[in-house]
Structure 1
Amino acid sequence: MLVKKETANKVINGLIIDPLIFTQKFVKGCDVCICSGECCYYGVYTDKSEYELIMSKKDRIIKSMDDSQTKNFEDWFEDEQEDSDFPSGIAVGTEVYNGKCVFLDKQGFCTLQKIAIEDGENKWKYKPLYCILFPLVIFEGKLTVDDEHLDRMHYCNKPINQVSTVFEACKNELKHVLGEEGFKELEEYRKEFFEQDEEDNEAA
């Protein structure tokens, strides 16, 4: 598929938009009852500010953890590392415990999201951005598909289950990272992208 240079370099809210998000096949939506939160098995990188927010809620988090999780908060995170894709410039990875992210319970639910819902907060209040976004990812300033991580999935990566696209399945996530106005701009860009693609195919 030919993508013109000016189309490929579309920027919204400071992020380069990879048109792959419009065409990459994906499942209809997240359903941990089917996959048990498999995408969370490997842990995630958080921004330092997200790490600090999570640690400020450690007592509340511990109360909602089950016996498959470690309640020793000193074992929750890896050492800090520099990463320009994070607002603070510092990334802090979550540890893996019992073969899954320390914050994933045995039913496949994220404890960070669970406590937010239980306390009447926005469900993503404590959840790291990269957890929210999957299968989307921000890499070197580009909003794209995390195909490397997606390739490890046993449910989301099966063609028989991919009845939608990343764009269609992740509209709320895209609104979260781009904002409402940014999402409207993305919808317009998507329309232009497919119109251009159709013109290119007719000219071929």
Structure 2
Amino acid sequence: MRVKGCDPAGCQGLCCYDGVYLLAGEDELIRAVVRKYPDHFKDLPADYLVDGAWPDGTKGVKSATRPFTFTTADFPRHFNNTKCVFATSDERCMLQSLAVELGVHKWTFKPTACWLFPLTIKDGELAPPPLPGEPDPDYVDDSYPGYVTFVPCGKLAPGGTPWDEAFAGEIAFFDTVDQLPLWANRGLSLEEIIERAKI
């Protein structure tokens, strides 16, 4: 599998179109971060985390979305014209930019599903996006034919980079993690998390 890699400016942050579903405990971490650094998150709506339902019926807590009109030529017809409320106007993430400002690892506050994308976890190991002809891991039916294979970084790029090179940072970070989500459910205060995550 060869890919182009991540280019948020090129795709307008298409992977963020529906927000992100959170692993258990990630909602508490995000709420604590927003409470501690309100100036950084002043553009968030009051309800920045909501209850959601994926097209296959899976339910969970996720980041809220706001209207956003994608202008990319290959915008998938089954995607919504919305974007995660943590996305910024320059196609970045408020949670990641705060981590960088604080001098901690850039993915310290970022939900697992975000920093791993477009990789998935299969049998405890990281798996690349599927090759053409292989099933999209988020396929539901003809009305929702998938997710990862519909964004540029999840599509085969014959002239691109081998997936394990393109996503070497994600693989290295995953290999250092002994528990997902990274910080949730460990009984650490936000201050302790920030101290441990300093780079």
TM class by shorter-chain length? 0.5 to 0.7
| Structure 1 unaligned blocks of 5 or more | 1-23, 81-89, 181-204
Alignment equivalent of 2:170, drawn from 173, 180, 201: 173
1:94 to 2:63 alignment: yes
1:50 to 2:19 alignment: no
1:119 to 2:94 alignment: no
Q: How many residues align?
A: 144
Query: 2:99 & 2:17 partners in 1: Cα distance?
Result: 21
Q: CA RMSD in A?
A: 3.0
SS at structure 2 position matched to 1:47: coil
Query: 1:65 & 1:138 partners in 2: Cα distance?
Result: 30
Per the TM alignment, residue 108 of structure 1 is displaced from its structure 2 partner at its CA by: 0.7
Query: 1:30 & 1:137 partners in 2: Cα distance?
Result: 15
Distance 1:164 1:45, change over 3 A: same
Query: 2:159 & 2:27 partners in 1: Cα distance?
Result: 33
Distance 1:25 1:45, change over 3 A: same
Query: 1:162 & 1:60 partners in 2: Cα distance?
Result: 45
Equivalent AA in structure 1 for residue 148 of structure 2: L
Query: 2:120 & 2:174 partners in 1: Cα distance?
Result: 10
Instruction: Determine the structure 1 residue equivalent to 2:87.
Output: 104
Identity among equivalent pairs (%) = 31
Instruction: Determine the structure 2 residue equivalent to 1:25.
Output: 2
Contact 1:65/1:71 (CA < 8 Å) preserved in 2?
no
Contact 1:76/1:102 (CA < 8 Å) preserved in 2?
no
Deviations 1:41-66 (A, max 9, x none): 12112112211111001135542347
Per the TM alignment, residue 178 of structure 1 is displaced from its structure 2 partner at its CA by: 2.1
Equivalent AA in structure 1 for residue 92 of structure 2: F
Alignment equivalent of 2:119, drawn from 136, 139, 144: 136
Per the TM alignment, residue 104 of structure 1 is displaced from its structure 2 partner at its CA by: 0.8
Query: 2:87 & 2:95 partners in 1: Cα distance?
Result: 8
Instruction: Determine the structure 2 residue equivalent to 1:76.
Output: 49
Query: 1:104 & 1:138 partners in 2: Cα distance?
Result: 24
Deviations 1:99-157 (A, max 9, x none): 1012111211111001111122211110011111111012565532354322222x335
Mapping for residues 176-191 of structure 1, pairs under 5 Å: 176-179=173-176
User: Higher strand proportion, which one?
Assistant: 1
SS at structure 1 position matched to 2:107: coil
Query: 1:37 & 1:25 partners in 2: Cα distance?
Result: 20
Query: 1:150 & 1:158 partners in 2: Cα distance?
Result: 8
Query: 2:150 & 2:41 partners in 1: Cα distance?
Result: 26
